[in-house]
């Protein structure tokens, strides 16, 4: 599942809501306006029909209408408003506005006393049609007369289009304004969370011992819980390290007494030295394993620089070229002493095996920190590499103490959940890499 920030999730939810709400609102208002406009057109045409009815009469069995009608549009050809009067299924009168019509439309008369409104009446172009049938006295006989009002739809469609364009323009502006207000409100709402995250990061790298500042009630409980976790973790680490120091002191004293015993057989001194080495190694591994994700990350470059200077002195007789290529962003999330132990053993082993050149690299590989030490020595045979990478294998049997150094590196790397990789170096010798998680 894609990991999205709370800000982005809230923003996308609001955008989806607007994408649903704005078109739905626009369609609803547009439909309501169209119906209102159509109803208004019906009322106008009904009124115009009543005007025609009031002006129509029979005189000597002949229908009569005034020369000039009250509505001027019916007197002007091509005005867009037209009228017809039909009796006995024949058109007996039509307005002056129809003079430019080449043919008369087919009109169906409604029943007496009924009206019909047709919103889509087509005669080449679209029109509104309103018709009404009434009875008139013609020499004692009641004759049904139908009145037809035809209105051009172009004006209606222009008005409708203007309204729709204006509606979408302003709704778009409102949506944009709402998005701006949403972004501002989201930033204000998430500001305490951003502050809390910043303080947690500072505590993670060791710049803060406890979270400070005042937060909203929803985050205050979280702040107190994190502070309690920090306090508890710090106290536990202190107790653990103190206990390990006491254990180391308790074990070293009897070993020192045994080692100083002149009556002790010479064959027993070597096992005692091995026991002492094992104790130191396991204690260091235990301390490393107690490391915390909250402690300050150590920069690798300064440590490598110090080790480079020390190795030049230790192996001065070999006149080695020790090259450093450590990127500034390389940070070790752990104890500085452990970093020096790991890198120091790797560089020391490389110097012992090298003929002329040692190359130390530090770089990021995704979320991992990779420390790589290459030499131009004889390398490590493939059958030995597998043994070095298996837990429990004795590592002190390789030439010039390389096994012991790699044992320390393997233990410390394992304590930090890292990975040890042995390969061939471009220089011709061995390439030892250790990889640690640099960030979650």
Is position 412 within any domain? yes
Domain containing residue 276: 217-289
Are residues 307 and 271 both part of a single domain? no
- Residue 298, pLDDT > 60, answer yes
Are residues 154 and 260 both part of a single domain? no
- CATH number of the domain enclosing 329: 3.30.565.10
- Rounded mean pLDDT, 227-239: 77
* Sign of the dihedral defined by the CA atoms of residues 369, 207, 414, 383, in that order: positive
Task: Tell which residue, 79, 165, 69, has the closest CA to residue 127.
Answer: 79
- Residue 249, pLDDT > 80, answer no
Are residues 267 and 401 both part of a single domain? no
Are residues 240 and 259 both part of a single domain? yes
In tens, the pLDDT along 157-204 reads 888 899 999 999 999 899 899 888 888 888 888 788 888 888 887 777
Are residues 64 and 121 both part of a single domain? yes
Residue 110 C-alpha from the chain's centroid: 64
In tens, the pLDDT along 73-88 reads 888 888 889 999 998 8
Point out the domain boundary residue: 243, 268, 289.
289
Q: Which of 80-94, 125-139, 196-210 has the lowest mean pLDDT?
A: 196-210
Are residues 263 and 351 both part of a single domain? no
Are residues 43 and 17 both part of a single domain? yes
In tens, the pLDDT along 378-410 reads 888 887 777 665 544 444 434 444 455 677 788
Point out the domain boundary residue: 235, 265, 289.
289
Point out the domain boundary residue: 159, 183, 201.
159
Number of domains in the chain: 3
pLDDT of residue 401: 44
383 burial (CB, 10 Å; 0-12 / 13-18 / 19+) is exposed
- Rounded mean pLDDT, 12-38: 89
Most confidently modeled range among 91-105, 145-159, 426-440? 145-159
Is position 191 within any domain? no
Is position 23 within any domain? yes
Is position 212 within any domain? no
Are residues 303 and 409 both part of a single domain? yes
pLDDT of residue 285: 54
Per the confidence metrics, is the pTM higher than 0.95? Answer: no
pLDDT of residue 389: 57
Are residues 312 and 280 both part of a single domain? no
- Rounded mean pLDDT, 282-309: 70
Is position 190 within any domain? no
Q: Which of 22-36, 138-152, 217-231 has the lowest mean pLDDT?
A: 217-231
Is position 171 within any domain? no
- Tell me the DSSP string of 17-62: HHHHHHHHHHHHHHHHHHHHHHHHHHHHHHHHHHHHHHH-EEETTE
Mean pLDDT of the chain: 82
Are residues 14 and 126 both part of a single domain? yes
Is position 144 within any domain? yes
pLDDT of residue 288: 53
- Residue 296, pLDDT > 80, answer no
Is position 189 within any domain? no
Are residues 15 and 55 both part of a single domain? yes
- Residue 375, pLDDT > 90, answer yes
Are residues 303 and 285 both part of a single domain? no
* Residues 338, 306 contacting (CB under 8 angstroms): no
């Amino acid at each position: 599942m894609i990991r999205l920030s709370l800000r982005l999730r809230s923003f996308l939810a609001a955008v989806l809501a607007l994408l649903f709400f704005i078109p739905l609102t626009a369609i609803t208002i547009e439909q309501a306006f169209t119906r209102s406009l159509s109803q208004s057109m019906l009322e106008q045409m009904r009124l115009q029909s009543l005007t025609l009815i009031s002006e129509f009469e029979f005189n000597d069995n002949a229908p009569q209408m005034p020369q000039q009608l009250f509505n001027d549009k019916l007197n002007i050809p091509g005005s867009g408003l037209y009228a017809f009067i039909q009796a006995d299924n024949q058109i007996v009168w039509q307005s002056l506005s129809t003079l430019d019509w080449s043919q008369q439309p087919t009109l169906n008369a409604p029943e007496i006393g009924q009206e019909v409104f047709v919103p889509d009446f087509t005669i080449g172009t679209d029109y509104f049609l309103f018709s009404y049938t009434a009875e008139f006295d013609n020499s004692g006989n009641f004759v049904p007369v139908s009145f037809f009002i035809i209105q051009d739809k172009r004006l209606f469609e222009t008005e409708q289009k203007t309204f729709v364009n204006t509606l979408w323009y302003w709704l778009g502006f409102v949506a944009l304004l709402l998005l701006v207000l949403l972004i501002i409100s989201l930033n204000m709402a998430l500001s305490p969370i951003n502050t809390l995250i910043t303080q947690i990061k500072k505590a993670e790298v060791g710049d803060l011992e406890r979270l400070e500042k005042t937060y909203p009630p929803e985050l205050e409980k979280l702040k107190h819980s994190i502070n309690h976790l920090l306090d508890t973790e710090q106290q536990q680490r202190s107790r653990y390290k103190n206990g390990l120091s006491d254990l180391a002191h308790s074990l070293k004293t009897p070993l020192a007494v045994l080692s100083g015993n002149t009556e002790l057989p010479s064959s027993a001194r070597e096992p005692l030295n091995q026991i002492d080495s094992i104790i130191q190694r396991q204690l260091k591994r235990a301390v490393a394993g107690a490391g915390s994700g909250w402690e300050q990350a150590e920069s690798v470059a300064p440590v490598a620089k110090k080790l480079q200077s020390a190795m030049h002195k230790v192996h001065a007789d070999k006149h080695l070229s020790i090259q450093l290529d450590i990127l500034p962003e390389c940070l070790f999330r752990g104890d500085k002493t452990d970093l020096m132990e790991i890198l120091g053993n790797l560089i020391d082993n490389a110097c012992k095996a090298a003929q002329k050149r040692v190359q130390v690299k530090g770089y990021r590989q995704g979320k991992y920190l990779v420390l790589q030490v290459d030499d131009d020595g004889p390398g490590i045979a493939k059958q030995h590499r597998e043994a070095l990478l298996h837990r429990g294998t004795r590592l002190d049997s390789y030439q010039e103490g390389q096994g012991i150094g790699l044992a320390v590196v393997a233990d410390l790397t394992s304590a930090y959940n890292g990975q040890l990789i042995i390969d061939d170096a471009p220089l011709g010798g061995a390439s030892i890499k250790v990889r640690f998680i640099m960030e979650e």
